[in-house]
Chains A and B, each alone.
Chain A
Amino acid sequence: MAGNVWVVLQHRDGKLHPIALEAITAALGLAQELGVEVEAVLLGSGMEALASQAASTGVARVHVGDSESLAEYTPGAYVGALSEALTTAAPSFVVFGHSYQSVDCMARVAHAIGAAILPEAISFESTEQGLVFTRPILEGKMHSKVRLKGEGTAVVSFQSASFEAAATDQPTSEIVPLVGDSGAWKADRELLGVEDVAGDAVDLSAADLIVAVGRGIGGPEKMEIIEDLAAALGAEIGASRPVIDNGWLPRDRQIGSSGQTVAPKLYVAVGISGAIQHLVGMKGAACTVAINKDPGAPIFTVADYGIVGDLFKILPALSAAIREAKS
């Protein structure tokens, strides 16, 4: 008999993180395949309201680790809290939504309980070979299908937008305190503070039209043709991470998991290959155009229209055509 599926719920500002609701959907799906139940875990301090939110998502039980030592996330305290309960429960899966917090701690959880680890899956299916998980490799250019070798617990994370958010109007489930000695939940690093690096100079989330530029532009001196296309369209300029890291544009232009999340009517991705970290920031675009010299670039799998070729030749023609159409 397989163990239950556990799902660790992240939260921020007193609300369940959207990725937590997606993780619940994934966990419910896994549990259905295995014929078991889903047990959710919430860690933090002062958790009553969050616990009742979690209890209405269709999980069988919500385990709440409520302690001062969990008020701020540290891997030490989180792993301490999770490992005792998980070792006792021996789940089949421990599911995390993929976030910068969960990746920081999921490996330590897996190590502490002697589990296998399967990060950043985007889907799973039940096959003759058992449960098969798909995860992107080679910066999203290819996918890998993997299965777990052993019978023991596996710690799995699912990339954002892989599953729909779970409904939050389900019959209330049981809320129980997390098993374990909270005295042993100790921080292993000190949080000195949080700084805002993006600033709020440019709010791309409200832009209707965005021209986003990637590494393919090659350097800051070539940014003029991007500016010209943006001017022709009346669009804001955004960028993928490498452009920002190279200092070609300021950080408040970054779109993706570490930058802004946008949902324009039109998103023109120029010289952007389309790593998953970028895609999660622009998947809400109603219409996406990709211009890239590499026909295998993953951006073409999410775009509506694609042009394979030299952006330095295509952009001037496109800017001219747009100006002509508008006049």
Chain B
Amino acid sequence: MKIAVCLKQVPDTEARLRVNDAGTWIEEEDLSFAINESDECALEEALKIAEATEGEVVVFSLGPARVGEALRKALALGADRAVHLEDEAFAGGDALSTARALAAAIEREDFDLILTGSQSDDLGFGVTASLVAGHLALPHAWLVMGIEVEDGGTARVVREMESGKNEILRLTLPAVLEVQAGINHPRYASLKGIMQAKRKPIDKLGVEDLGLSADEVGAQGAGLEVLSVGFPDSGAAAQILEGDPASVAAQLVEKLQKEARVL
């Protein structure tokens, strides 16, 4: 099977976040970046399927030069080659304009399966790959918790629903599957994998390579305009208790007894 995996490089949100000068995104300079968690699970799922079917895994990612690191990591984990959508015009996109570019890149080849994570940990639209499926006119499923490729060109897919229930679905391939973090435990890169990754190709594609114009992608092609970002209103924030562990514990117990009256 030939499998495409779309992955996004996202900032590590454990870090202290600052709003950038324009007020429309966070200051990226002091942050570290990693492959989005559910995308890494999608890659793991793709690698397992490719191993079982002697298939090929091609990873796609859209973003600035730093994204090369994420792609190199994916290659070290076992992907065969990578496609980097890198063009200034791609910057500032929303789900709509990013999906347009990704779909155009994926469409250049024939894939049996397109896998990605269900939601990014930064912008969290959760709909980009479903839009890609729309462009490619393929069936899709969001929040996938299990994939079993069947003989006869179908896949049996487990999809998470609310309240602890799963749907069991059958989709005709090719299809776009958006996996939920937790579907598997992604592998670690081996030293051999890291060495091999250095020789694997990363193709770069810009707007023109995709047959698109700059006003169809990135911020220009987006349906949304970000006016500002900020921290949630702290008006309703918690009463923060301060002191050493014994002191905060005593304060909390007193408040739970006398203020909240729950103990």
Contact = CB atoms under 8 A, between A and B. Distances in A.
Interface of A: 75-76, 99-101, 103-104, 106-108, 110-112, 115-120, 129, 132, 135-150, 154, 188-199, 209, 233, 241-242, 244-246, 251-252, 254, 257-261, 265-266, 286-290, 294-296, 298, 300-309, 313-314, 316-318, 320-322, 324-326
A118 B224 contact: yes
Interface string B232-254: 11101111110001101110110
Interface string B119-163: 001111111101101110001111100000000000011111111
A244 B164 CA distance: 12
B94 to A, nearest CB: 8
Contacts of A193: 167-168
B210 interface: no
B121 to A, nearest CB: 6
Nearest to A254: B164
A304 B238 contact: yes
A192 B170 contact: yes
Contacts of B165: 194-198
Nearest to A104: B142
Given A108-B133, A190-B170, A325-B263, A287 B141 contact: no
B125 A119 contact: yes
B263 A258 contact: no
Contact of A138 (B26, B162, B166, B223): B26
B16 A108 contact: no
Contact of B134 (A107, A189, A254, A316): A107
Contact of A110 (B131, B157, B228): B131
Contacts of B140: 75, 104, 108
A138 B253 contact: no
Contacts of B182: 241-242, 244-245
Contacts of B248: 307, 309, 314, 317-318
B226 interface: yes
B260 A266 contact: yes
Interface string B25-53: 01000000000000000000000000000
Closest 3 CB pairs of A and B: A198-B164, A116-B223, A111-B134
Contacts of B205: none
Nearest to B223: A116
Contacts of B222: 149
Nearest to A129: B227
Given A117-B94, A141-B17, A314-B245, 15 more contacts: A103-B142, A106-B130, A107-B131, A116-B96, A116-B223, A119-B95, A143-B230, A145-B229, A147-B224, A147-B227, A148-B223, A148-B225, A294-B14, A305-B238, A321-B250
B255 to A, nearest CB: 6
Nearest to A241: B182
Contact of B141 (A104, A129, A198, A326): A104
Contacts of A251: 164
B230 A106 contact: no
A138 B121 contact: yes
Contacts of A192: 156, 168-170
B110 to A, nearest CB: 19
Given A107-B95, A191-B167, A308-B240, A132 B227 contact: yes
A144 B166 contact: no
Nearest to A133: B224
B224 A296 contact: no
B213 interface: no
B181 interface: yes
B163 A147 contact: no
B231 interface: yes
B164 A260 contact: yes
A300 B238 contact: yes
B184 to A, nearest CB: 10
Given A142-B17, A296-B17, A100 B143 contact: yes
Contacts of B229: 137, 142-145
A149 B96 CA distance: 12
A107 B169 contact: no
B162 to A, nearest CB: 5
8 contacts: A104-B140, A104-B159, A141-B232, A150-B223, A189-B169, A242-B182, A295-B240, A321-B250
A321 B241 CA distance: 15
B257 interface: yes
Contacts of B234: 301
Contacts of B143: 100, 103-104
B249 A300 contact: no
A101 B159 CA distance: 10
A281 to B, nearest CB: 10
B212 interface: no
Most B CB contacts (10 A, CB to CB) among A266, A302, A314 go to A314
A259 B169 CA distance: 20
B22 interface: no
